[in-house]
């Protein structure tokens, strides 16, 4: 009998241990309710301007190079509508606000909702997560006070108020900022107190050296890790333009963010691949695929983290809107596309534009033969085979830019060339056309964007959603 009793007790203990173990990983034992797994570590990747076709193009391109865009292999896929409060075609300010705060606002606004009463203004998911004890990291390849990152920590009636937005960064007390630096750090007229100094005075450790973020003893500090090489808008270089001295990759920033933020209360990291949008505004296929790849390498770091904590991690990859009206296939090539031709392009259209502007500035006479030489020297590893009409287009762009002679078309130059240098834009268009791509716009479009997800709660993001639902679904996944 005694033996039987001890067997019963032993079995009961085992059952209790099993129940408490499964409660930890599968259930929340509070009030005896069945609980669902909740994400403790959340990654939100936003490819600015990254439509479904941009992702497919990058995937096809890298598959041909025996590589991949890894996030397309995540188990859940959704499509997300992106309109702003006042326009079917949104900007990044309104779209970032909708994703961050779960409410539409007007294009140009940054998490700005004057029609809400003071005590009911929608807060960004990042702010809510921070209030609940999670650490927060914001990373971007463009300036840190640009529209998308700003939507998570600031409020502004206009996205162009860079200084005022940057001033709100240290007030957020978010633990980590990384990637690009401040645009207008001393105000538009360079007459304001320096924003980096303000961040330091608010106990941020500001550095451009990755080693300053390794072996951190005191994890209660707040950190701002700025890429050592910045463009005129305090943005990181495109991957296609990144030289040995170009600084760090988005993967370096997310790895550093994880190191700084990892703690028992969990974290939320938002990372924006901001220059995918800039490349699409330039209709630059090669820069688009390479910057998507750069973001994918950062996503692979998050995925490694997910593999360590699969029951506690959620990774979302989406976009704020589509840019460029990109088609995979065009009227010239029919079904004969060759996306891998983009690999012949050595630098971005934007960098090539700069070379041509420099040539104009440094010379008094200009020769079309010099332009052809530049294209071989700087732009292509292997030039495409030019048709007679390609050559005519290059000559017309040359005459327009250097001698102000209108091209022989009824199209306005801004429709024909967009905002890049006309000559560089024409060379870029020639290679994209030969690769089989088409662009219908130099701006954003209303096309729906993809949502790829994996991890705890990922299934919520499958199917058709609107960008305002992302915050709600995150809160739902957390049970908040």
Contact 37, 26 (CB under 8 A): yes
CA angle centred on 353, ends 348 and 355, rounded to 5°: 100
The 294-313 contact track toward Zn ion, x by CB under 5 A, reads: --------------------
By C-alpha distance, which of 188, 151, 189, 183 is closest to 166?
183
Distance between CA 254 and CA 271 in Å, rounded?
8
Considering only the stretches 137-145, 212-220, 273-281, 426-434, report the one whose residues sit in contact with Zn ion under the rule CB under 5 A: 273-281
Q: At 111, list the tokens.
A: 């998490």
Nearer to Zn ion, 275 or 460 (CB): 275
Q: How far is the CB of 285 from Zn ion (least distance, A)?
A: 16
Considering only residues 235, 277, 312, 469, which one is a binding residue for Zn ion as defined by CB under 5 A? 277
Give least dist CB 48 to Zn ion, A: 7
Tokens found for residue 354: 């700069």
In this chain, which residue has its C-beta nearest to Zn ion? 277
Shorter beta-carbon distance to Zn ion: residue 180 or 455 = 180
The CA distance from 241 to 37, in Å, is: 42
CB nearer Zn ion, residue 204 or residue 278: 278
**Residue number with CB closer to Zn ion (252 or 277):** 277
Span near Zn ion by CB under 5 A; candidates 26-34, 179-187, 277-285, 460-468: 277-285
Helix extents (H) in 333-387: 349-362, 368-374
C-beta of 50 vs 258, nearer to Zn ion: 50
- Closest to Zn ion by CB, 235 vs 277, is 277
* Closer residue to Zn ion (CB): 253 or 278: 278
Q: How far is the CA of 73 from the CAs of 77, 298, 432, 454, in angstroms?
A: 9, 15, 26, 9
Specify the stretch interacting with Zn ion by CB under 5 A; choose among 35-43, 138-146, 275-283, 296-304: 275-283
Q: Under the phi-then-psi rule, with left for phi > 0, alpha for psi from -120 to 50, and beta for the rest, what region is 460? A: alpha
Range in contact with Zn ion (rule: CB under 5 A) among 73-81, 270-278, 345-353, 383-391: 270-278
Question: Least CB distance from residue 192 to Zn ion, whole Å?
Answer: 26
Near Zn ion in 144-173, by CB under 5 A = none
In the complex, the smallest distance separating the C-beta of residue 92 from Zn ion, rounded to whole angstroms, is 6
Residues 98 to 127: which contact Zn ion by CB under 5 A? Answer: none
Q: State phi, psi for 276 to the nearest 5 degrees.
A: -60, -40
252 belongs to the binding site for Zn ion (CB under 5 A): no
Kindly state the smallest distance separating residue 444's Cβ from Zn ion, in Å: 6
CB of 475 to Zn ion, least distance (A): 28
Nearer to Zn ion, 95 or 314 (CB): 95
Tokens found for residue 134: 């999670």
Residue whose entry in the numeric block shows the structure tokens 């703690």: 263
Total residue count of the chain as it appears in this document: 480
Q: How far is the CB of 143 from Zn ion (least distance, A)?
A: 13
Q: Which stretch binds Zn ion (CB under 5 A): 193-201, 276-284, 297-305, 341-349?
A: 276-284
State phi, psi for 358 to the nearest 5 degrees. -60, -40
Burial environment of residue 70 by CB neighbours within 10 A (0 to 12, 13 to 18, 19 or more): middle
Sign of the Cα pseudo-torsion (153, 159, 162, 165, in order)? negative
Residue 127 or 444: which CB sits closer to Zn ion? 444
HSE-up of residue 46 (Cα within 13 Å, Cβ side): 33
Q: How far is the CB of 299 from Zn ion (least distance, A)?
A: 21
Count of residues of this chain found to bind Zn ion when the rule CB under 5 A is applied = 1
Q: How far is residue 97's CA from residue 100's CA, in Å, rounded to a whole number? A: 5
Q: How far is it, in rounded angstroms, from Cα 258 to Cα 254?
A: 6
User: Could you tell me the smallest distance in angstroms from the CB atom of residue 281 to Zn ion?
Assistant: 6
Residues making contact with Zn ion (CB under 5 A):
277
């Amino acid at each position: 009998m005694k033996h039987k009793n001890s067997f019963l007790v032993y079995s009961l203990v085992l059952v209790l241990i099993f129940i408490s173990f499964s409660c930890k990983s599968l259930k929340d034992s509070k009030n005896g309710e069945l609980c669902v797994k909740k994400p403790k570590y959340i990654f939100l990747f936003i490819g600015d301007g990254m439509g479904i076709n941009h992702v497919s193009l990058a995937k096809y391109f890298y598959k041909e190079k025996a590589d991949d865009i890894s996030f397309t292999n995540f188990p859940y896929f959704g499509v997300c509508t992106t309109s702003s409060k006042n326009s079917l075609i949104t900007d990044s300010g309104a779209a970032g606000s909708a994703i961050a705060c779960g409410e539409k606002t007007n294009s140009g606004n940054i998490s700005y909702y004057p029609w809400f009463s003071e005590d009911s203004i929608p807060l960004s998911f990042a702010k809510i997560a921070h209030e609940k004890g999670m650490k927060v990291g914001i990373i971007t390849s463009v300036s840190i006070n640009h529209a998308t990152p700003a939507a998570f920590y600031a409020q502004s009636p206009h996205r162009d108020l860079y200084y005022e937005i940057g001033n709100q960064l240290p007030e957020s007390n978010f633990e980590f900022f990384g990637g690009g630096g401040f645009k207008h750090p001393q105000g538009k007229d360079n007459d304001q107190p320096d924003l980096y100094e303000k961040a330091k005075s608010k106990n941020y450790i500001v550095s451009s050296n990755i080693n300053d973020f390794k072996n951190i003893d005191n994890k209660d500090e707040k950190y701002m890790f700025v890429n050592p090489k910045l463009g005129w808008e305090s943005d990181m270089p495109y991957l296609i333009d990144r030289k040995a001295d170009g600084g760090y990759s988005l993967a370096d920033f997310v790895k550093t963010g994880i190191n700084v933020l990892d703690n028992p209360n969990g974290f939320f990291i938002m990372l924006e691949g901001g220059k995918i949008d800039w490349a699409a505004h330039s209709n630059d296929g090669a820069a688009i695929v390479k910057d998507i790849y750069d973001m994918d390498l950062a996503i692979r770091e998050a995925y490694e983290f997910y593999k360590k904590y699969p029951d506690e991690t959620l990774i979302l990859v989406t976009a704020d809107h589509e840019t460029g009206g990109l088609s995979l296939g065009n009227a010239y090539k029919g079904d004969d596309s060759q996306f891998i031709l983009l690999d012949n392009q050595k630098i971005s259209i934007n960098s090539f534009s700069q070379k041509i502007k420099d040539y104009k500035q440094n010379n008094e006479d200009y020769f079309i033969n010099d332009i052809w030489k530049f294209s071989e020297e700087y732009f292509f590893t292997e030039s495409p085979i030019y048709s007679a009409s390609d050559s005519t287009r290059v000559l017309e762009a040359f005459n327009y830019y250097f001698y102000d002679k209108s091209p022989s078309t009824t199209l306005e130059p801004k429709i024909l060339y967009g905002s890049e240098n006309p000559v560089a834009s024409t060379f870029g268009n020639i290679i994209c056309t030969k690769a089989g791509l088409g662009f219908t716009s130099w701006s954003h479009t209303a096309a729906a964007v993809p949502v790829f997800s994996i991890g705890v709660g990922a299934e919520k993001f499958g199917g058709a959603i609107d960008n305002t639902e992302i915050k709600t679904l995150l809160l739902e996944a957390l049970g908040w």
